[in-house]
């Protein structure tokens, strides 16, 4: 029975990912070719696949470059693909971002900038503001990722340490027409947060960025603090005339992915209940909430949710937020009969590991005990990866080349 449930959970996850596949979702959002040049730029885990979808459906001349995470590239013809580091930026990302920014300058009103944005773009477009070094920006990014800060908070800081994010790329392209095609990976599909909104107005401020660092007690390098306190050249705000010819189109969203999974669950005989596509919070605490919902749900229910949880790293183990959620869920369910679950990142990479996430079954804790594994100790050490690797319950997909954030599904059957 468990093998059939495992297979169904994987089908639900696959349905969510397929709904956001660039080759499916991008073509319908392409604009008409312009009188002048078409420059393609972009960043994110799905950027290379999005670029290939553009090439496959574009009528007319095309040029440009996009940056994606290492291992997420695909072959392209006219659009160059550069790979760089994620989630902590590297020199390749900095150089690619500089080339992206340069490529949109000096354009005319007859030209089109087609910007392809997906989750992960913020770290990949790593062009520090003047006076801020890449190493200093890396240090701040790493501290924020370990702190438990939300993606909104992290990107408020990133945008104010950048020469390209927070609408600056879009402003640099003026007076060209800018069309941004977006695969959303953030709760609420806030365009100013997805990849730190390089072509859209930025409502956040230098003061917001300083407040985030203070909230999480992060002491940044001196160059970062000087830049944030000086607060020169605020990011373009709503109403900025340089963004008057910029528009954005959502090609895929977390909500759409969850609905695709819900359809697949219903086809398998379950009544899907979508808990939301914008669930945030500490992964292990969200797991407790989901466990309570699962234990009170009727048999035949499939609980489905998305969003982006966080992990406050205190231990020295391995594991992303989805594996940590799964381990927290297994502990909270405590072997409850009839409940199977999956938690995965739709980009196929859970944090910095090589797994997408993990699966739990009613006998997860029992099998662990027989192997001498202490689930609670593993959770305390932030070693969910090691826990599920020992059980053979990691979900390994490799890069999916899209990203609509976390996916969770819990199947409830009669015990």
Q: Domain containing 314 — which CATH number?
A: 3.40.1480.10
Give the number of domains in the chain. Answer: 2
Considering the chain, what percentage of its residues have pLDDT values greater than 70? 100
Residues 273 and 408 in one domain: yes
pTM for the predicted model, two decimal places? 0.91
Residues 67 and 206 in one domain: yes
Residues 184 and 268 in one domain: no
Residues 237 and 359 in one domain: no
Residues 133 and 206 in one domain: yes
Residues 129 and 248 in one domain: yes
CA angle 161, 166, 169 (to 5 degrees): 105
Residues 371 and 264 in one domain: yes
CB 365 within 8 A of CB 331: yes
Final residue in a domain of this structure, among 228, 252, 276? 252
Domain range for 62: 22-252
pLDDT at site 352? 83
Final residue in a domain of this structure, among 252, 285, 309? 252
pLDDT at site 1? 56
Angle at which helix 222-230 crosses helix 206-215, to 10 degrees, equals: 140
Residues 283 and 246 in one domain: no
Residues 183 and 82 in one domain: yes
Residues 234 and 273 in one domain: no
Q: What is the mean pLDDT of the chain?
A: 96
pLDDT, one tens digit per residue, over 27-81 is: 999 999 999 999 999 999 999 999 999 999 999 999 999 999 999 999 999 999 9
pLDDT at site 102? 98
Residues 108 and 86 in one domain: yes
List the structure tokens of 405: 């954030």
Query: One digit per residue, pLDDT tens: the chain, 415 residues?
Result: 589 999 999 999 999 999 999 999 999 999 999 999 999 999 999 999 999 999 999 999 999 999 999 999 999 999 999 999 998 899 999 999 999 999 999 999 999 999 999 999 999 999 999 999 999 999 999 999 889 898 889 999 999 999 999 999 999 999 999 999 999 998 789 999 999 999 999 999 999 999 999 999 999 999 999 999 999 899 999 999 999 999 999 999 999 999 999 999 999 999 999 999 999 999 999 999 999 999 999 999 999 999 989 999 899 989 899 999 999 999 999 999 999 999 999 999 998 899 999 999 999 999 999 999 999 999 999 999 999 999 999 999 999 999 999 999 999 998 7
Final residue in a domain of this structure, among 252, 270, 305? 252
Residues in the chain: 415
pLDDT, one tens digit per residue, over 110-146 is: 999 999 999 999 999 999 999 999 999 999 999 998 8
Residues 6 and 53 in one domain: no
pLDDT at site 186? 85
CATH of the domain at 123: 3.40.50.10180
């Amino acid at each position: 029975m468990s093998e059939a449930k495992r297979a169904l959970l994987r089908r639900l996850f696959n349905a969510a990912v397929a709904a956001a596949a660039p080759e499916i979702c991008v073509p319908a959002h392409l604009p008409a070719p312009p009188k002048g040049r078409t420059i393609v730029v972009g960043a994110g885990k799905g950027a290379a696949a999005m670029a290939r979808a553009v090439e496959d459906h574009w009528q007319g001349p095309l040029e440009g470059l996009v940056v994606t995470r290492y291992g997420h590239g695909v072959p392209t013809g006219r659009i160059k693909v550069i790979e760089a580091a994620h989630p902590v930026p590297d020199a390749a990302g900095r150089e690619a971002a500089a080339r992206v920014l340069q490529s949109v300058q000096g354009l005319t009103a007859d030209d089109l900038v087609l910007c392809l944005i997906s989750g992960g773009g913020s770290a990949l477009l790593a062009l520090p503001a003047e006076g801020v070094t890449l190493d200093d920006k890396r240090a701040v990014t790493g501290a924020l990722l370990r702190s438990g800060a939300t993606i909104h908070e992290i990107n408020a800081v990133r945008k104010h340490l950048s020469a390209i994010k927070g609408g600056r790329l879009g402003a640099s392209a003026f007076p060209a027409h800018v069309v941004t095609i977006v695969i959303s990976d953030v709760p609420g599909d806030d365009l100013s947060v997805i990849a730190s909104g390089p072509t859209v107005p930025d409502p956040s401020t230098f003061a917001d960025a300083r407040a985030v660092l203070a909230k999480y007690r992060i002491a940044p390098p001196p160059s970062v603090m000087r830049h944030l306190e000086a607060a020169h050249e605020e990011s373009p705000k709503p109403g900025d005339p340089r963004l008057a010819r910029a528009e954005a189109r959502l090609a895929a969203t977390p909500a759409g992915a969850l609905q695709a999974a819900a359809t697949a669950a219903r086809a398998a005989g379950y009544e899907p209940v979508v808990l939301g596509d914008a669930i945030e919070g500490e992964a292990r605490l969200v797991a407790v909430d989901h466990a309570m919902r699962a234990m009170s749900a009727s048999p035949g229910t499939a609980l489905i949710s998305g969003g982006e949880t966080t992990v406050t790293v205190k231990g020295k183990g391995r594991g992303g937020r989805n594996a940590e959620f799964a381990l927290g869920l297994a502990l909270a369910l405590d072997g409850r009969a009839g409940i199977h679950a999956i938690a995965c990142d739709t980009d196929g990479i859970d944090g910095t590991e090589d797994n997408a996430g993990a699966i739990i079954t009613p006998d997860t804790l029992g099998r662990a005990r027989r192997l001498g594994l202490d689930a609670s100790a593993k959770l305390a050490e932030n070693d969910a990866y090691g826990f599920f690797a020992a059980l053979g319950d990691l979900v390994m997909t490799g890069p999916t080349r899209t990203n609509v954030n976390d996916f969770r599904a819990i199947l409830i059957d009669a015990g």
